[in-house]
Each structure stands twice: as structure tokens, then as C-alpha cells.
Chain A
Amino acid sequence: MDNFLPSELIARLKETGDVEIVAGIPSYNNARTIGQVVRAVAAGLGKYFPECKAIIVNSDGGSKDGTHEAVLNAEVDHSALFQVTHPVNPVRRITTAYAGIPGKGSAFRAIFAVAKHLNAKACVVVDSDLRSITPQWVELLVRPVVDREFDFIAPYYLRHKYDGTITNSIIYPMTRAMFGQQVRQPIGGDFGISGKLAARYLEKDVWETDVARFGVDIWMTLTAIAEGFRVGQSYLGAKLHDAKDPGADLTSMFRQVVGSLFGLMETYEKTWQSVEGSKAVPMFGFPFDVGLEPIPVNVERMEHAFTQGTRDLREIYVEFLSPGTLAALAECARAGDGVTFRLPDKLWVHTVYEFAAAYHRRAIDRDHLMQSLVPLYLGRTASFVLEVQESTALEVEERIEKLCEVFEAEKGYLAALWRAGAGKEKTHAGTV
């Protein structure tokens, strides 16, 4: 189970003994922000779980900027927190390098292994570049696990209406339609997990795959949902993190996240095909409004990307998109002229479903498939931005809800495509 943990770490864990809560922070060159995160987590554990024995584990990918020292030296000013009770057991900290393929998944694997080794009841993982984390996040992610026997708590952030468009237009609607649970932010990055679920994650044979690199968030969420664990979500307010790479490659994101989603649909094929409709998951925390800075968006560029994609990639799309979908996309590109550009919900849903089916039957190289979805996604995003530019946050959520309903209503279309499988393959019954 833990033969990939360094022997020094195992020795230290033996000294530590069993704990109730493991707080895991994966990192790679996050010296600038990780100190704040460690302080917030340590304060949260001390303030909200003073009776519990806890440990903070930093699983690091070989940082060279002093992340290790920042973790160990982060001090908590308890007096500033007005703590009524004080921790019975001081929160220990361990920082260790993880083994395996470089990536967040490998870091999580080490954290889950520590949690299993220490027989932890709950495990909380948070990103190391968070700037808006507060000690209360720890309570919101861990309390439902410890007290209410939930197994998986996803975050619920308040975001700008233009933020998280892959989540809003693909990941959330698909998660909900496929697996029947309305987890609003399935790839939030900060989660509360039961010891039982952490052990289950470790049993899976995915740690040498793309999951270990970059698909771990969606994988964790869908595994918890698909395997029948108790799932909830907690309201954490705004999420601000260090935007190290504001122009991060969209193509990589698609391969990482959407590709992982399509792959998990293959893993849990029988599960999603038997699910109908969706239901809300319990929400914890107190929803409050937060002021969000306006975000400029270059709609023209996205529309241009869509137009160019439908024109130049047509020879690729004909291999797996239906003629009706292809014609409709071309018509959108032709008809749109800035303000009036629209990509209707049903067309978008059919497009995503046809891509999922093409991924399943390997119609073309999967990397190429994901790359070819990018221009269409940008078109959808442009359409969405134009549609909601005068809308309030509440109206936008209602708009996204409508999109989700279309995803659910058209699920039969996906199921038929999936079963057809070889729909585009021709078989010949002629005799020689």
C-alpha cells in the first residue's frame, strides 16, 4: 500500500501514531503562498477541531524555491483568532517529496497513503496557491465528514459569471447528467474526504496514468459519486489563487480535464447509463455575497476561433460529427456577427455528446479529438458571454441550470450513440 512512501516518512509516521484528521497540501514551487495556506489550515484545525489529533502533510514535487522551509516555518498567531478552546494536541507538520509521475495526482496519492497509514477518519486537501483560504474552510470541508459521516465534500465557490466556463458548459452539466448529482464545482481542487474514501482511492490502479498528472480532481469527484459514497458540498466564498499562468494552454486543459471526464465515462459506463435525472447534494456553510472584480473578455477573438475552427477543421469533424450537427455549427459560424452570435444549448449538447461518443470508439486519435473541441468550446463561451453580459449572478445560475436540463433531457441521444459505437464503421456482408 505505501511502498512508494519514503522510508524516512514511514518512520516519522510511526512516531506520530494514529490521527483523526490529515490535512494535505500538494505543492510545487509555491513558496510565495504556501505559508499562508499552512497558517490557515493550522489555525482551522486548532480552532475548530481542538480535540482531534491532526497532522499537516505537504506533498511536494521537488520544489526549488524554498517551499519546504515556508511550510515548516509558517507560524499561527492564535491570539488574533480569538480561540476559545486550545488544541489538545499540537498540529504536527510533515513535508515530503512524492514518488511517481510528476503531477497533482501523485501528490494526492502520497497524502491518501499517509491518511491510511495513520488511520485518519478524515482528510482535507487544499491547493497551495490559495490566497482567499480562511481557517473556516477547514471546518466546512471536514465537519460534514467527521460529524455527519459524509465521504466526499466538494467546494462551492462564488465566482464571476465569466469564470470557470469549462466547468459551467461541460464539466458540471456532464457530471450532473451522467451521474445524477448536482455537484456544482466538481474540479474545485479543495476537498474533504473520509478515511474510507481515501483508502478506496488508493486501491485504484490509475496512478501511472494521466489521472496522476492532471485529471485527479475530476477523477476523485466522479469516483466518489459513481461508487455510491455520500457526497456533499460546502460554501467557501470566493476562490482567489495565485494565477501563475493566466494564459495557460487551453488545449492542455481540455486534454487534462475533459479527456479525463470522457475516460471516466468509459470506466463507469454501466453506472451512468442507468442514471436518470439528477438531484441536489446537501450544501453546508452559510451562503454570502462577495464582491467580484469585473473580468474583461475578448469575445471577438473567441468568435473568430470558432469560425476558423468550423471552416479549417471540417475535414476532421466529418469523421465523427453527425451531418446535422456539422451543418448547424457551420450555420452558426456563418450567421453570427458579433452581438448576434449564438450557439444554442441543444446544438452544444449534441456536439459534446458526439465528441464523447467519438472518444469512446476512438474515431480519431484522442489527443487530436480534444484539440479539435477547443474552437467549438470557444464559440460556445463567446455565445454565453454575449447572452449573459447584462445578467446578474442569479440569472446566470438559472441560465446554467437550463443548460443542465438540456444535457439531462438529451442523455438518451448520447446513450444511443454510445451503444451504436461502430455507427460510423461500415460492415460488409457481401460474399467473395
Chain B
Amino acid sequence: MQGLFERAFIEPFHRLAEQLKVVVPGLMTVVVILVAGGALAYVVRQAVYGLLRMVRFDRLAVRAGWAEAIERTRIFRSPSDFGARVAQGAVWLLIILFALSATGSPLTEDLLERFFRFVPDLITAILVLLLGSVISKFLARSTLLAAVNAQWAGARLLAGGVRVLVMSLAVVIALEQIRIGRTALLTSFAILFAGIVIAAAIAFGLAGRELARGWLEQRMRPQAKEEEEVFRHL
């Protein structure tokens, strides 16, 4: 009877206790890491916010054109707030990774290794997107201004097209960097780009061949003086 009681209750309890003896310290370590890390993340956020305010990061963000985009999300109160929360998020990520590695399990170790190999590519992709955004906006604006000053009717369409094209290129490069759908993406982009080029060539060369001829003749031959206004602006 006593043996049955031991086998049914005591031994499972001992086995559980043995397992808990192995698991609990690790769990306690994770909890301590998370709590301490959370506090650290909060301190970092405060510190980064103060630093960004001191260097007038808000003004820089307004000038760079990011401020409006950040405030439109209605999540962040200001560019400095955004920067502080990004820093806090980065600290949290490190804390979580640290906590995971503290468990010592082979699965988490493998996960960590793959994550750390992915991080540089992820950072590069984010930078490519940011740069692409800035460049596409600048080029689109330059195109818009040149087209408006040349009094082209489709100035906004042309500028929008430039922006979409440049941003698409940036997205393709970013996704290619993090190896998401590489082949499909590159092929789609190539088809799209080639399609645009062929369509433009057909439109200009075939449908608009008289216009194309006139434009080329104008470029190749010496220009005749304009017959209208000759008044000087200066």
C-alpha cells in the first residue's frame, strides 16, 4: 500500500521537483532579466529623448520632411519621442535575446544565431528604404518643378511616376537584401520596367512619330529665333 502511494504520488512529485529544479532557475533568470531589462529600457528611452531634444532633433526632422510622416501615425508625439521609443525598442530586443540565450536551450540558441545573421541585412534593407524615400521625393520634386516651368500638361503625373519608379527600385533592392522572394521579385520588376520602356517607345516612336520627328529635328538643327517675346527679365 505504501509502495503504491509512493509510486502514484511521491515519485511523480519528486520527478516534477527534479524537473522544476532544472527549469525554475532558468525561468527565474529570464524573469529577472526581463524586469531589469525593462527598467533599463525605460531609462534609455528617457536618456535618448533628452539627448534628442538637446540636439534639436525635432527641427532636423521637420527640415528633412520626416516629422509630418511620424506625426501622421498618431502613435508618436514628436520625432524625438519616435527616436526615444526606437532606442527603447532596440534595448528591449536585446533584453529578449539575452533572456532567450539565458535559457540555454538548443532551439533558442539556433534561433539566436539565425537572427544575428539576419540583422545586418535587415539594417541594410531599412537604410536602402530610407535613402530611396529621400531620393524619390527629391527627384520627383525636381521633375515636377522642371515640368511645370516647361508648362507640360502632365507635370504631376510625370513627377508621380518618377517617385513610384525610384521607390519601387528601392523596395526591390531592400527585399532582395533580406532575401524575400528574390527571383519572383526581380523578375516582376524586370517585366514591369521593360513594359514601361516598351510602352513609352511605342507611344513616342509609333503613335507619336510625327511629334518625335519634330522634336528630333528641333534638337538636331540650329534653333530659329523665337518670334514672340524678346523682352528681357533682368
Contact = CB atoms under 8 A, between A and B. Distances in A.
A428 B148 contact: no
Contacts of A163: 231-232
A80 B211 CA distance: 56
A162 B151 contact: no
A425 B62 contact: yes
A243 B84 CA distance: 59
B33 to A, nearest CB: 23
Nearest to B233: A166
B138 A365 contact: yes
A246 B62 CA distance: 40
Contacts of A247: 226
Nearest to B59: A425
B62 A424 contact: yes
B103 interface: no
B137 to A, nearest CB: 10
B77 A246 contact: no
Contacts of B84: 432
A296 B58 contact: no
B218 interface: no
Interface centre among A247, A428, A430 (most CB of B within 10 A): A428
A304 B229 CA distance: 15
A275 B231 CA distance: 33
A74 interface: no
A365 B135 CA distance: 13
A368 B77 contact: no
B125 interface: no
A371 interface: yes
A305 B77 contact: no
Contact of B145 (A362, A368, A381, A432): A368
A295 interface: yes
A295 B231 contact: yes
A257 B148 contact: no
A168 to B, nearest CB: 10
Interface in B50-81: 58-59, 62-63, 67, 77-78, 80-81
Interface string A123-166: 00000000000000000000000000000000000001011111
Interface in B178-234: 225-226, 228-234
Contact of A368 (B141, B231, B232): B141
A339 B146 CA distance: 28
Contacts of B77: 428, 430
Given A246-B230, A428-B80, A312 B149 contact: no
A164 B229 contact: no
Interface string B104-142: 000000000000000000000000000000000010011
A162 B81 contact: no
Nearest to B155: A312
B78 A164 contact: no
Interface string A157-189: 000101111110000000000000000000100
A246 B144 contact: no
A298 interface: yes
A374 B149 contact: yes
A312 B49 contact: no
Contacts of A432: 45-46, 49, 81, 84
A294 to B, nearest CB: 10
A246 B228 CA distance: 10
Nearest to A371: B145
Contacts of A362: 63
A316 B141 contact: yes
B88 to A, nearest CB: 9
Contact of B148 (A250, A298, A375, A424): A375
Interface centre among B80, B138, B155, B234 (most CB of A within 10 A): B234
A298 B228 contact: yes
Contacts of B67: 426
Contacts of A251: 149
A34 B146 CA distance: 35
Nearest to B62: A425
A301 interface: yes
B78 A297 contact: no
Contacts of A296: 228-230
Contact of A313 (B145, B228, B229): B145
B98 to A, nearest CB: 24
A371 B149 contact: yes
B234 A368 contact: no
Nearest to A305: B151
Contacts of A160: 231
B231 A162 contact: yes
A253 interface: yes
Contacts of A164: 232-234
Contacts of A274: none
A165 B138 CA distance: 30
Interface of B: 45-46, 49, 58-59, 62-63, 67, 77-78, 80-81, 84, 138, 141-142, 144-146, 148-149, 151, 155-156, 225-226, 228-234
Given A243-B232, A297-B229, A427-B58, 14 more contacts: A160-B231, A166-B233, A167-B234, A246-B226, A247-B226, A250-B149, A297-B231, A298-B229, A313-B144, A316-B144, A372-B145, A426-B67, A428-B78, A432-B49
27 contacts: A164-B233, A165-B231, A166-B233, A187-B234, A243-B232, A246-B225, A251-B149, A295-B230, A295-B231, A296-B230, A297-B231, A301-B228, A304-B151, A305-B151, A309-B148, A312-B156, A313-B144, A363-B63, A365-B138, A365-B141, A368-B141, A368-B142, A371-B145, A422-B62, A428-B81, A430-B81, A432-B45
Closest 9 CB pairs of A and B: A428-B78, A371-B145, A295-B231, A425-B62, A432-B49, A162-B231, A166-B233, A298-B228, A430-B77
